[in-house]
């Protein structure tokens, strides 16, 4: 096939990601369970890549978990998101950088709905003005924050202090990548590689020296399921989905799992702990668990950030075996510190600790 033809075929799987000047919106789940990852993203962008990322502390939840938990109407969430657009407009920003995959799916759904049903955009403008007196411009682009790290993956590779390589063998680490369902299964055009070839994490892993594992349940949902986790009686649904994935990836002996969705990263860590507690089963090498990282943590390790300052100690499956393989010297005794630098008692029953 001619190169031109190939380019045309693959064009629909590409995504334009701006080079600079982002309006950042946080994630309820990521700031709760991975506060260090959000701070790491900002540090990488501002300090390492010298980019302008603006955050207005007046932005709130997008209400996405309430929306997919079915207690928040579509009209309401459109208007809450429109308020974020109004804050971006007021600050002079046209590119939104979204930390959460649930939010990213919602922003995509809203923009698509406004395109196909222009009356919904008109109503949202009216509702927002009536409720808050604010007006807004529709942003030029929306990017998930993993899109942005993907865009700068080669620049990060050039600054790398460590690679995704086992320093004792020189072989690439084996990495499972998990894409949050709402990143591109709903609106493929908004994700890099669409729903069929989601490349956002593969690109990072390969640029930083790792090998990607392909396994049968690679694209299965982590099992969050919103109400299926939020309600205690339903959590069997959630843990079953993650268990299915872990059983499927186990034969390929992954060194780590990386996810672009904060919920997926949290569940695949938490359910490993739960399954170990209930059934004494683990899925990693030699009876260990498989560390689950956010992509910000993976990028931070590559750039030489201190894993404990990124919050990696707050995973039930600790990353110590992975850090040793990469040659990262991080003292486990420094994981749990108080504000004054004194050591806090270490939690019991962490995996790989």
Q: Least distance to other proteins from the beta carbon of 33, Å? A: 8
Closer residue to other proteins in complex, CB, 156/246: 246
Q: Which residues have C-beta within 8 Å of that of residue 317, sequence separation ≥ 6?
A: 269, 272, 273, 284, 289, 290, 291, 292, 350, 351, 352
Q: Which two tokens stand for residue 278?
A: 């209930």
Q: Look at the block and give the residue holding tokens 């020189």.
A: 170
Tell me which stretch binds other proteins (CB under 8 A): 15-23, 63-71, 153-161, 296-304: 63-71
Per-residue DSSP letters for 271-319?
A: HHHHHHHHH----SGGG----EEEHHHHHHHHTT--TTTTTGGGSSB--
3-class SS of residue 3: helix
Tell me which stretch binds other proteins (CB under 8 A): 31-39, 44-52, 145-153, 157-165: 31-39
Residues 166-185 that bind other proteins (CB under 8 A): 181-182, 185
Q: Where are the alpha helices (DSSP H) in 165-234?
A: 181-184, 200-207, 227-230
Q: Least distance to other proteins from the beta carbon of 144, Å? A: 16
> Which residue among 91, 122, 131, 167 contacts other proteins (CB under 8 A)?
131
CA atoms of 183 and 142, how far apart (whole Å): 12
Is the Cβ–Cβ distance between 68 and 180 less than 8 Å? Answer: no
Tell me which stretch binds other proteins (CB under 8 A): 69-77, 138-146, 293-301, 319-327: 69-77
Q: Which residues have C-beta within 8 Å of that of residue 202, sequence separation ≥ 6?
A: 177, 193, 212
CA atoms of 73 and 84, how far apart (whole Å): 17
Tell me which stretch binds other proteins (CB under 8 A): 44-52, 62-70, 152-160, 208-216: 62-70
> Which residue among 18, 21, 31, 218 contacts other proteins (CB under 8 A)?
31
> Which residue among 52, 73, 252, 304 contacts other proteins (CB under 8 A)?
73
CA angle 172, 174, 177 (to 5 degrees): 125
Strands 292-294 and 256-259: parallel
Does 89 bind other proteins (CB under 8 A)? Our answer is no
3-class SS of residue 256: strand
> Which residue among 3, 170, 232, 333 contacts other proteins (CB under 8 A)?
232
Q: Which residues have C-beta within 8 Å of that of residue 126, sequence separation ≥ 6?
A: none
Does 135 bind other proteins (CB under 8 A)? Our answer is no
> Which residue among 63, 143, 163, 207 contacts other proteins (CB under 8 A)?
63
CA atoms of 130 and 135, how far apart (whole Å): 10
Q: Least distance to other proteins from the beta carbon of 259, Å? A: 14
Q: Which two tokens stand for residue 147?
A: 């899109």
The count of chain residues that interact with other proteins, using the rule CB under 8 A, is 96
Closer residue to other proteins in complex, CB, 204/275: 275
Does 11 bind other proteins (CB under 8 A)? Our answer is no
Q: Least distance to other proteins from the beta carbon of 175, Å? A: 22
Does 121 bind other proteins (CB under 8 A)? Our answer is no
Strands 211-212 and 171-172: unpaired
Does 189 bind other proteins (CB under 8 A)? Our answer is no
Element (DSSP H or E) covering residue 244: helix 235-249
Residues 257-286 that bind other proteins (CB under 8 A): 269-271, 273-274, 279, 281
> Which residue among 15, 26, 95, 199 contacts other proteins (CB under 8 A)?
26
Residues 233-252 that bind other proteins (CB under 8 A): 233-237, 239-241, 243-244, 247
Residues 209-228 that bind other proteins (CB under 8 A): 220-221, 223-228
Does 88 bind other proteins (CB under 8 A)? Our answer is no
Q: Least distance to other proteins from the beta carbon of 302, Å? A: 19
Residues 284-343 that bind other proteins (CB under 8 A): 308-311, 313-316, 336-339
């Amino acid at each position: 096939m001619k190169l031109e033809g190939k380019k045309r075929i693959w064009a629909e799987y590409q995504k334009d990601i701006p080079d600079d000047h982002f309006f950042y919106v946080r994630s309820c789940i990521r700031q709760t369970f991975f506060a260090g990852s959000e701070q790491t993203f900002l540090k990488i962008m501002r300090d390492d890549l010298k980019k302008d990322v603006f955050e207005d502390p007046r932005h709130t939840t997008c209400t996405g978990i309430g929306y997919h938990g079915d207690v928040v109407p579509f009209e309401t969430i459109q208007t809450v998101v429109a308020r974020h657009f109004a804050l971006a407009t007021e600050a002079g920003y046209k590119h939104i950088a979204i930390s959460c995959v649930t939010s990213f799916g919602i922003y995509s759904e809203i923009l698509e709905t406004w395109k196909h049903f222009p009356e919904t955009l008109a109503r949202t403008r009216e509702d927002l003005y009536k409720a808050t007196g604010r007006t807004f411009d529709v942003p030029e682009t929306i990017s998930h924050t993993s899109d942005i790290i993907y865009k700068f993956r080669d620049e990060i590779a050039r600054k790398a202090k460590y690679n995704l390589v086992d320093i004792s063998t020189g072989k690439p680490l084996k990495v499972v990548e998990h894409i949050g369902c709402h990143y591109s299964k709903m609106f493929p055009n908004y994700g890099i590689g669409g729903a069929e070839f989601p490349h956002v994490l593969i690109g990072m892993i390969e640029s930083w020296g790792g090998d990607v594992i392909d396994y049968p349940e690679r694209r299965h949902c982590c099992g969050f399921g919103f109400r299926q986790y939020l309600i205690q009686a339903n959590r069997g649904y959630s843990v079953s989905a993650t268990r299915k994935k872990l059983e499927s990836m186990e034969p390929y002996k992954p060194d780590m799992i990386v996810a672009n969705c904060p919920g997926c990263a949290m569940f695949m860590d938490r359910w490993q702990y739960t399954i170990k507690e209930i059934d004494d089963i683990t899925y990693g090498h030699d009876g260990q668990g498989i560390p689950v990282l956010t992509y910000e943590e993976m990028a931070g390790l590559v750039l030489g950030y201190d894993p404990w300052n990124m919050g990696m100690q707050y995973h039930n499956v600790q990353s110590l075996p992975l850090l040793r393989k990469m040659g990262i010297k991080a003292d486990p005794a420094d994981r749990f510190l108080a504000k004054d630098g004194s050591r806090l008692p270490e939690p019991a029953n962490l995996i790989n600790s």
